[in-house]
Amino acid sequence: MIHSFPGNFPIQEYLRLTVNVTGKHNNMGKFNRENVTDEGAYVMDEQIKQVLADLEASGRENDARETDRAMKMLNLHPDTAKKLSDLALSNHSTRILEIGTSNGYSLIWLAWSARENGGHVTSIDKDRAKQELAAANLERAGLTDWVTLRAGDASEILSVLDGPFDLVFLDADRIAYPALLTQFLSKLTPGGLLLADNVHSHPEEIAGYLSALAARDDFEHSVDPVGEGLSIAYYRPE
């Protein structure tokens, strides 16, 4: 089922209902009061904000200079990364999987959200050198303990990866998403979120994935225009 944003959208309704009004609990039963305002907003540590700002600047500079696509960082738009984090926090996601680590920009947002939720992120990338950059960036941000990095082809790693996951973020080879969806679906928990970037920037490449989602009746699906277009699917099997 596909809905367009904004509108009467079950995922929004679901998230609205599941966000704790005080914003002070997580689903591991822990409280992170020092990171939450009285209005329920999560406050990111200054150290993490600084690393993210550095990565935004260096990523822009690197990607403008590099002509070889493999050498670009291709980080998520900051607004999309914030949206990803908001979704993880409000859905109380604790078992997060990212496909496409690069140098760890979106991963830092997810790892911070996982830390606030008492959870953990596993992130896959076939480029070992980029994952080494990600490891260093996570260390600088103080988030190493909330992340497991797995180097290799997403399909190969997925075949040996234990689930379940309650949030999966796809940001890699878009043509491969339909096959990956088939592969990890059994590891996605009911109520879980499935997110994918680049709906508006790469419509042809992501069309197969969107069709695969639309053909299923166990996902509520929408596209948020944030950044390059974020596909948001909420897994709701019978």
Ligand X SMILES: C[S@@+](CC[C@H](N)C(=O)[O-])C[C@H]1O[C@@H](n2cnc3c(N)ncnc32)[C@H](O)[C@@H]1O
Considering the rule CB under 6 A, would residue 132 count as an interface residue with ligand X?
no
C-alpha to C-alpha distance for 165 and 31, rounded to whole angstroms: 22
**Is the CB of 97 or the CB of 233 nearer to ligand X?**
97
**153 belongs to the binding site for ligand X (CB under 6 A):** yes
> Measured from the CB of residue 166, what is the shortest distance to ligand X in angstroms?
19
- First and final CA of the chain: distance in angstroms? 14
Interface residue with ligand X among 87, 111, 154, 230 (CB under 6 A) is: 154
Interface characters, 43-82, with ligand X (x: CB under 6 A): -------------------------------xxx------
- Whichever of 93 and 102 has its CB closer to ligand X, that residue is 102
| 10 phi and psi angles, rounded to 5 deg | -55, -35
Q: Decide: is 220 part of the binding site for ligand X (CB under 6 A).
A: no
List, edge to edge, every strand of the sheet that includes 95-99: 2-4, 219-224, 230-235, 188-196, 165-170, 95-99, 120-125, 147-151
CB of 154 vs ligand X, minimal distance in Å? 4
Residues 147 and 57: their CA atoms lie apart, in Å, by 23
Angle between helix 128-141 and 105-117 (nearest 10): 50
Q: Which is nearer to ligand X, 141 or 176 (CB)?
A: 176
With H, G, I as helix, E, B as strand and everything else as coil, classify residue 124. strand
Determine, following the binding rule CB under 6 A, whether residue 231 of this chain makes contact with ligand X. Answer: no
Closer to ligand X by CB, 36 or 210: give it: 210
DSSP per position, 3-35: EESSSS-HHHHHHHHHS-TT----TTS---GGG
Nearer to ligand X, 48 or 74 (CB): 74
Residues contributing to the site for ligand X (CB under 6 A): 74-76, 100, 102, 105-106, 124-127, 130, 153-154, 171-173, 176
